[in-house]
Amino acid sequence: MDALNFINGQWCHSTTGEWLAITNPATEEPLGRVVLSSVDDVDQAVQTAGRAYDVWRRVPVTERIQYLFRLKQLLEENFEDLARTITLECGKTLAEARGEIRRGIENVETACGMPLMMQGYNNEDIARGVDEHLYRQPLGVVVAITPFNFPLMIPLWFLPYAIASGNCFILKPSEKVPLSAVKLIEILHQTGLPAGVVQLVHGRKATVEALLDHPEVRAVSFVGSSTVAKYVYSRAAASGKRAQCQGGAKNPVVILPDADLEMTTKIVAEGAFGCAGQRCLATSIAVLVGSAQQPFSEAICDAAASRRVGYGLDADVEMGPVVSAESKQRIEQLIELGLGEGAAPRVNGKARRPNGHDRGSFVLPTVLDNVAPSGTLARTEIFGPVLSLLYADTIDEALGVINSSPYGNMACLFTTSGAAARRFRNESVVGNVGINIGVPAPMAFYPFSGWKESFFGDLHAQGRHAVEFYTQTKVVVERWHTAWSRKF
């Protein structure tokens, strides 16, 4: 299947004539090709969106959300086909792909509340005969640059809110997983959405830079590594654009001695190894406090060694491959780096392959023990199924490990102590906190928070933050003199 651009309501080739291969990461079989867009392709999409915006922004919000109601229904009808597509190009299991789609649909449902969410406010008689009003109006042409790990959910963090609030939207998905985005746009086209309101351009760095530099693009949403997030944020800001840029993470969990061992082990194993460790909120570090050290380390090693790894379309598989051979190589190099820094390989996924899979980008669950808190591995995002074990004597020491990290995406605590939980959620310097939760992914009506090097910007994805990001406020102060009104 060829992944084409979608511009002005039509599927079209790029003017470059260049393509990239799309490969199944579990089998290394070809899935198709994706076009690489030129600066001219980007300009055509933006200019088309600008013309569509002049009309779309005047469509009543109650009419705009009707397209989202239809989109929600079509996503439900195409649920299994979308899940299979995600598994084919991304590698995650069918169960994980289904969960991703469900989260995406929740954002569509939330954005259907736009008539309430973008309401302004007013005061009558703020001075004698003077009224004041605040209105929320759309920005114009907005762009989302999305990653490979959630090829459907993350575009839906942005798209529904952007168009429901009156903007025109351009999606630039990861070139590694373009087929899910193509199917999303095909489904959206079936709703009857006017041409130019949502468009799709594929490509790599040159395409991204063309979008960032285009003078008619008003706002940019991005999810990816911290290095690229900072670059995108800086370049967008230099062009006077709004930007919300979600970066990387090194997500820790803290396990206190009073935690329920069986429940905690199951939850942490899923947080560390689910989606092959390629979640924004994947657990990377487990800080074991006091007497929790021995029992939990033994239990998590058993869970890692016994996790069923294979092709995500096969029944009973719990973890698929990482997204590409390049990712596999990078993860394995980081495992070797950790071993070189003195970590002990309690479970070494680099040294094994899943049964029946001689090909594919598989890295099996890995547990590294005695990782140095100040070492390179403890401060580097691996983005793979690798869990590092660190040790602390007290919760104070564990909080010190968390708060000294350059990242601030997520931290979780496992305990039966309400006092410890209250202190943890108050003192941990991160944007998303879990208490006896391994992946504290916010519901669609809450923002997906991130702090420090994990986020660049002010307003996050989802919920009210999305509405504020995609609208600008206009304040009107007005007076109508009685003498004037008597003329009519």
Chain centroid to CA 124: 42
Contact 206, 232 (CB under 8 A): no
**The pTM is what?**
0.95
Q: Residue 350: its pLDDT value, please?
A: 79
Residue 445 identity (one-letter amino acid): F
Residues 330-346 have pLDDT tens digits of 999 999 999 999 999 99
Specify whether 12 is catalytic.
no
Residues 187-212 have pLDDT tens digits of 999 999 999 999 999 999 999 999 99
Q: Residue 349: its pLDDT value, please?
A: 85
Q: Residue 252: its pLDDT value, please?
A: 97
- pLDDT lower than 70: segments of the chain: 351, 483-488
Between CA 191 and CA 72 the distance in angstroms is 10
Q: Residue 488: its pLDDT value, please?
A: 56
What is the average pLDDT score of the chain? 96
Contact 75, 86 (CB under 8 A): no
Residues 315-328 have pLDDT tens digits of 999 999 999 999 99
> Residue 38 gets which letter from DSSP?
-
Q: Residue 374: its pLDDT value, please?
A: 86
Q: Which of 168, 280, 301, 412 is catalytic?
A: 280
Between CA 288 and CA 14 the distance in angstroms is 52
